[in-house]
Structure 1
Amino acid sequence: MTSIREIARKAGVSPATVSRVLNRDKTFSIKDSTRQKVLNLAKSLHYELKPNRPSNGPKRKIIVLCALSVETLNRDLYFSDIKKGLYKEADISHITVVNFIHFPDSQFRFSDLKKVDGVIVIGTFTSNFLEHISKYNTNVVIINEPRDFEKFDLIRNNYYSYTNKILDLLFKRNFYKIALIGGAVNQMDCLGLSEESCIDPRSRAYRNWMKSHDLPIQEIATDWTLEAGFNAMEKLLSMKNTPEIVIASSDLLAVGAYRAIHLHQLKIPDDIQLISFNNSEVASYLVPSLSSISAPTLEMGEAAIRLLNDRFINQRTQAWQVVLPSKFIERESSYSKFNDSYLS
């Protein structure tokens, strides 16, 4: 059966555009030639428009459940950009976010999920919490979830595979004393962080890669704060076998690590090199500037809305997993002798 995505691919437009054209959205501004192209393709491919609310009628409603507090979300550019992408695509797709709930929230009622068309989850919640969601609403998309679930749509970055790419690159550059500053991913429920946690993909990839190359693991598990980054780097620098290069699992941890390195009167990258994740705005303003892996965070938010829209329009029940690629932005905190600074 022909899908909206297939029509979009052949027409060279987004699935959201196809959806609004097929639903005769009179408020949607688009070239007449493009509109006609979409309609002709739908007809030639025998697309059967399923019952759906018109885009110029009542908007579909969704709730967003976020495992981060308001303060944490606002200062963390990784997650705040996901939120921006989500709202941007929701507006395009004629979808209203009726509530954006930050946890912990003792007043949250699962029964409220029955009142909306879909649910987007940002961050890591306990399996029991997610199971309760599915009892009240089956249209669920989870963003930035390291675990696998059979019944939920998942959107994630490729930090696991990209950590392996970075380690391969460092090995090529003859680095063998490689350390990692990272942390476990704590799981949220209604009342706060639970005792349950899962291994961060960067940590899992690092451990497996170092073992496979018979190299010593120098990993410091931390919280995700500036102070934690500072304390972790202090521990690494006090070790007898000081690392040549450190991978920080976030730019925030890297900023704390910078402070510790400077207090030890060491120079970056001459005495020790540093690579981080998330490529937040601060990375390019540090001195020296910070090499960091950039994730497509805006696109992750946009993709969540598109997956929900596909469920709404096509009544899809099969869960999908979407993995979006990252990019290595190499700056002054690391360098190559082999002219191989950038990974594709």
Structure 2
Amino acid sequence: MATIKEIATKAKVSPATVSRVLNYDKSLSVNDTTRKRIFEIAEELHYNKKNSKTRKAKLKTIAITLWCNQYQEIKDLYYYSIRSGIEDQAKRLGYQTHIYYEQDSLDDLDKNVGVIVIGKAQYSKERLNEIERIQKPTVFIDADTLAEGQCCVVSDFHSSVQEVINHFLNHGQKDIGMLAGDLADIYDKNNLIDFRFKDYKRYMTKLNLFDLDNVYVGKFTPDSGYEAIKNAISQRKKIPKGLVVANDAMAIGALKALRENKIRVPEDVSVISFNDTTAAEFANPSLSSVHVDTHEMGRAGMKVLADLLNDGLKVCYKVVLKTQLIFRESSIN
């Protein structure tokens, strides 16, 4: 694990600035470029990336598409880390990469030899049609597209959601809620796009413990997590003893809302989130989180694409990476 001092030294800022940036402190006067550099350095040190020799080969280009812009990307390090893994493995294999953010035109997408799509549910149908239209070898990461005839790399979130709920139950916390994610302004709270929510609802219903009033919704960002929990508290709603949060970014916002309202974590409310990004380690309190090796997801996605490009692979397949629940201060363990 990288220390705040190590990150600060490399970023040429103070340790206090690093701590506040990693906790998404909006009151800190620092520009987006500095924020982005701190997050990038934190992730680089977190994964202890080693310089490796690139194979000598023609530098063919791989397209990486994202559903967000470059500043949204660092608000949830999950996607940044996947991209970093893709780029790391592409370099090892002798490819260069071209990134397409949501605002970028896809007119020259067909100049790339292959495409890696990060996510899927967050894209518009039109955007996905543009990607499909070029008919280049394509791999999806963080989306199960096997049934649609596309190779993909995913993490085993299904069993991890159940593991989190069981952890709460084992500590006598039967009142279990969820802060789920949805990008839409208008959504059906009972049928959210968040696949973690679907697993949560399925398992809680099976246990006869599902209560829609215990479900809160944000947009996968710290601000939205903060607002969702703040609003729930202001409406005099009792926050469940166990809170499952769809990602670390929203969980950090939720922790802030709980702290401001004198709700103790984990004594009053235990919080467990997903992704275990660098920010989870430096949250206040540090976040228990389901570790997803996002960097390795990116590397695996590039390996699958290399199979398609170099071996002419005709059979579609899915790679599933195991997750691990990491316990820290935000939950009773």
Structure 2 CA distance for aligned equivalents of residues 195 and 293 of structure 1: 26
Aligned-residue offset at 1:130:
2.9
Larger Rg: 1
Structure 2 CA distance for aligned equivalents of residues 147 and 219 of structure 1: 27
Which runs of no fewer than 5 residues in structure 1 stay unpaired?
Answer: 1-27, 31-54, 187-192, 337-344
Counterpart amino acid of residue 70 in structure 1: Q
Residue 117 to residue 242, structure 1, CA distance change in 2 (3 Å): closer
TM-score w.r.t. length of structure 1: 0.73
User: What per-residue deviation string (whole Å, max 9, x for no partner) do you get for residues 137-175 of structure 1?
Assistant: 230011112555422211112223211121122222222
Contact 1:113 / 1:137 at 8 angstroms: preserved in 2?
no
Aligned to 1:74: 74
Aligned-residue offset at 1:255:
1.4
Aligned-residue offset at 1:269:
1.1
Contact 2:156 / 2:323 at 8 angstroms: preserved in 1?
yes
Aligned-residue offset at 1:135:
3.1
Structure 2 matches for 1:273-312, cutoff 5 A? Answer: 273-312=270-309
Aligned to 1:205: 199
Contact 1:236 / 1:243 at 8 angstroms: preserved in 2?
no
Aligned-residue offset at 1:275:
0.8
Are 2:113 and 1:114 aligned? no
User: What per-residue deviation string (whole Å, max 9, x for no partner) do you get for residues 98-155 of structure 1?
Assistant: x2110133x322xx33322111111222445334423322300111125554222111
Structure 1 CA distance for aligned equivalents of residues 194 and 226 of structure 2: 19
Contact 2:247 / 2:273 at 8 angstroms: preserved in 1?
yes
Counterpart amino acid of residue 139 in structure 2: V
Are 2:146 and 1:152 aligned? no
Q: Secondary structure at the match of 1:64?
A: strand
Counterpart amino acid of residue 115 in structure 2: V
Structure 2 matches for 1:1-344, cutoff 5 A? Answer: 56-97=56-97, 99-105=98-104, 107-109=105-107, 112-124=108-120, 125-145=123-143, 148-184=146-182, 199-217=193-211, 218-237=214-233, 238-239=235-236, 241-336=238-333
Aligned-residue offset at 1:249:
1.0
**C-alpha RMSD of matched pairs (Å):** 2.7
User: What per-residue deviation string (whole Å, max 9, x for no partner) do you get for residues 55-101 of structure 1?
Assistant: 6442332211111201112343211111111111111111121x211
Structure 1 CA distance for aligned equivalents of residues 168 and 266 of structure 2: 14
Contact 1:66 / 1:101 at 8 angstroms: preserved in 2?
yes
Which runs of no fewer than 5 residues in structure 2 stay unpaired?
Answer: 1-51
Residue 135 to residue 225, structure 1, CA distance change in 2 (3 Å): closer
Residue 74 to residue 272, structure 1, CA distance change in 2 (3 Å): closer
TM-score w.r.t. length of structure 2: 0.75
- Identical residues among aligned pairs (%): 25
Structure 1 CA distance for aligned equivalents of residues 94 and 245 of structure 2: 39
Structure 1 CA distance for aligned equivalents of residues 325 and 223 of structure 2: 25
Structure 2 CA distance for aligned equivalents of residues 162 and 185 of structure 1: 23
Contact 1:185 / 1:198 at 8 angstroms: preserved in 2?
no
Aligned to 1:15: none
Q: Secondary structure at the match of 2:143?
A: coil
Structure 2 CA distance for aligned equivalents of residues 181 and 265 of structure 1: 19
